[in-house]
Amino acid sequence: MPPWNRKPAPEPGPGLVGVARFARTDADLSSALREGDVAIIDVADLDRRHAEVLIERKVRAVVNVSASSTGRFPNLGPRLLAHAGITLVDGVGPDAWTLLRNGGRIRIENGNVYRDEVLAVAGIEHGEERAEAELAASESGLATRLDSLTANASDHLQREQAMLLEGARVPELRTQLAGRGVIVVAHAYDAATDLRSLRRYIVEHDPVLVGAGSGADLLLDAGYTPALVVGSMDNLSDRALKECGEVVITTALGRIENPERLEKHGKEVVQFVATGSDEDLALLLVDTREAAVIVHVGGPPTLVDFLERGPVDVASAFIARLRAGTKIVDAKAVQHFSSNRLALWPLLLLLLCGVAAVAVAVSITPVGGDWFDSLGDTLADFGTWIKGLVS
């Protein structure tokens, strides 16, 4: 077409302009997004874990296919995004996956999402006031949520009784865990910071490093190679499948989705048929295989954070931690004790200073003076003897 016949690109209107980037899974959140992108996600009741990943990736805005706050329980995700200055458009519906283009430029204005200046999808734009109001309203249902936890935990225990109490269906591993310390890393909350704080502990104790889902990518980014990775195929990146050691694929249906990804990397995997999140099943697996201590990186720091998950996930998380009991230690506790331990060199320096002080005190006494004179004569005689040997 001649240049004089080409239609000029429409001028963008007011609002926020950025590149749409689809993030359908947890693995996409941690690897596909780039700074300044507009993340297209589908996460009902956006929790703190997902929000922190989005903030860490420095996205410009978030378009959520689902409702970011349903009111079932207090979830901190929308408030965290608002505090970080990230625009959130809520509940645009599943048509976003077809009406928007991955990698294409879009514009957001008052909850409307435009592609090529044509309205594609629309939702509700969250501001800080709305996020605070929804959080306050949902807190009233927290007591009901706790009652639900009790009922769901009981159902989960009955359904998975053989596995939880006797270890049925928990796979055998090539990786030896019995009697060893284990670090299980989930990509959530302050996981990256906590992992950095454990560097000294890792060097001194050589624990087995286990990545739960996209936590494997977090370990790889920190310069570690996980000996074991546990997760569903949707949550494991190609990088994790290629570079990590033993791979355990979790599945509730007893079949592995997209097995061609495993064939591509030539991986032989272990299958773990069970219900629950990658993190909970990783904790259950290492506990059943008799790990001596389990350091949990990326665990929920508060009760509200713990209850942000769906009712089934909360129940499985509660049972997994209850089963492991005192074996589980939070990463922040390990960091506290390891960083407050005295190093060896200050003790040696203190001892040397004490010896020097005693020597000075003794030297100023008459007896001490005689000792030092005698020691000086002895050293002089020893020096003369050495010179005689080499001359």
Position 1 scores a pLDDT of 47
Position 252 scores a pLDDT of 82
Position 130 scores a pLDDT of 85
The pairing of beta strand 112-115 with beta strand 61-64: unpaired
* Sheet bearing 105-109, strands edge to edge: 118-122, 112-115, 105-109, 16-22, 38-41, 61-64, 87-90, 124-126
Find out whether 19 and 104 touch, Cβ atoms under 8 Å: yes
- Sorted by where each starts, the structural domains of the chain and their CATH numbers stand as 3-138 (3.50.30.10), 141-339 (3.40.50)
E strands, the chain, are 16-22, 38-41, 61-64, 87-90, 105-109, 112-115, 118-122, 124-126, 181-186, 208-212, 228-231, 246-251, 269-273, 293-297, 328-330
Instruction: Give the separation between CA 26 and CA 131, rounded to whole angstroms.
Output: 23
User: What is the chain's pLDDT, residue by residue, as a tens digit (391 residues)?
Assistant: 455 454 554 555 577 999 999 999 888 888 889 999 999 999 988 988 899 999 999 999 999 999 998 877 778 899 999 999 999 999 999 999 999 999 999 999 999 999 999 999 999 998 888 888 888 877 776 666 667 767 776 776 666 767 776 677 788 899 999 999 999 999 888 888 899 989 989 998 999 999 999 999 999 999 999 999 999 888 888 898 888 889 999 988 878 877 777 777 677 788 888 888 899 899 999 999 999 999 999 888 776 677 767 666 777 777 778 787 888 888 888 877 766 554 555 556 666 666 566 555 555 666 556 655 665 666 566 566 666 665 5
Position 5 scores a pLDDT of 52
Find out whether 68 and 138 touch, Cβ atoms under 8 Å: no
pTM of the model: 0.58
Q: Which residue has the tokens 């969250």?
A: 126
